[in-house]
């Protein structure tokens, strides 16, 4: 693994009620009584739990993140949440451009970039998601698709502000299927090369690239050891403290 401090982020998606914070308490216990984690730990709960989670997790070093934000800072956007609202609730990160948002809500690369810019403007660190479908992978277009998404989704502000890239092959999310270690290596190397091409060596080499897509306790250690994998974006396994802690400990 690179010398970049790894980051493990849990995306709870549309899961979690008040009693789910018991899992957060258990994760905090594991993090503070076990071996000190060698990774930055972020949990992105539903917005209804964000403020409580941010407060509850602070003492154990668990950082809070949002799952999405609006591109505008305020206004007549019923049901949406601005980046500044997330920051006000205690978030330090926010996921933008997750494949489920791109698919379910038709989000374009341009919109994802605007959301990332809004996040940076509010003092948040955007986790910008990219990834190909199974049809694109089968057609040999994975690298081209991901490179195009990167170019259009990452704002120029990334040259001076912290951003995180998360590679999530769409066909591996929640399916139990994962790419081979060689496939992960190759796409992460391509992402790194694109970042260096755009932002220069000193900046491009410091941007974290996370892997996501059926990352679980059973495969975390080998995936997180691949070159240019600087952590993970974890879905279902982040809902259970024991599983998530196992992945964090695999760093």
Active site residue 183: no
The residues, ordered by sequence, that sit 6+ positions from 78 with a Cβ below 8 Å of its Cβ are none
Q: Is 160 a catalytic residue?
A: no
Burial of 247 (0-12, 13-18, 19+ CB in 10 A): buried
List the one residue out of 131, 124, 36, 130 whose CA is nearest residue 87. Answer: 124
Spatial separation of the C-alpha atoms in residues 171 and 246, rounded to whole Å: 24
Residue listed under structure tokens 């306790």: 217
User: Of 23, 70, 98, 107, which is the active-site residue?
Assistant: 98
Choose, from 23, 100, 143, 168, the residue flagged as catalytic.
Answer: 168
Which tokens go with 229?
Answer: 């994998």
For the chain, the residue count is 251
Structure tokens at 247: 């992945």
Partners of 7 in beta bridges? 40, 231
Query: Which residue, chain included where needed, has tokens 């070093």?
Result: 61
The Cα 216–Cα 205 span in angstroms is: 26
**Residues identified as active-site:** 98, 168
């Amino acid at each position: 693994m690179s010398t970049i401090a790894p980051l493990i982020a849990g995306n709870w998606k549309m899961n979690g009620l008040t009693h789910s914070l018991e899992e957060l308490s258990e994760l905090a216990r594991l993090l503070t009584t076990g071996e000190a984690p060698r990774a930055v730990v972020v949990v992105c709960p539903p917005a209804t739990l964000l403020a409580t989670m941010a407060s509850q997790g602070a003492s154990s070093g668990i950082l809070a993140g949002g799952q999405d934000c609006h591109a505008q800072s305020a206004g007549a956007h019923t049901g949406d949440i601005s980046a500044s609202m997330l920051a006000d609730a205690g978030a330090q990160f926010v996921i933008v451009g997750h494949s489920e948002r791109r698919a379910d809500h038709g989000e374009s690369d341009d919109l994802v970039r605007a959301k990332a810019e809004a996040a940076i403007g509010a003092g948040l660190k955007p986790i910008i998601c990219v990834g190909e479908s199974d049809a694109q992978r089968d057609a040999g277009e994975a690298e081209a698709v991901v490179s195009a998404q990167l170019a259009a989704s990452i704002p120029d502000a990334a040259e001076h502000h912290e951003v995180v890239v998360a590679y999530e092959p769409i066909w591996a999310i929640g399916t139990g299927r994962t790419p081979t270690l060689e496939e992960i290596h190759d796409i992460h190397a391509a992402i790194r090369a694109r970042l260096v091409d755009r932002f220069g060596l000193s900046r491009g080499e410091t941007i974290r690239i996370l892997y996501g897509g059926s990352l679980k306790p059973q495969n975390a250690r080998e995936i997180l050891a691949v070159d240019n994998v600087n952590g993970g974006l974890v879905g279902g396994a982040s809902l259970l403290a024991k599983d998530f802690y196992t992945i964090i400990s695999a760093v």
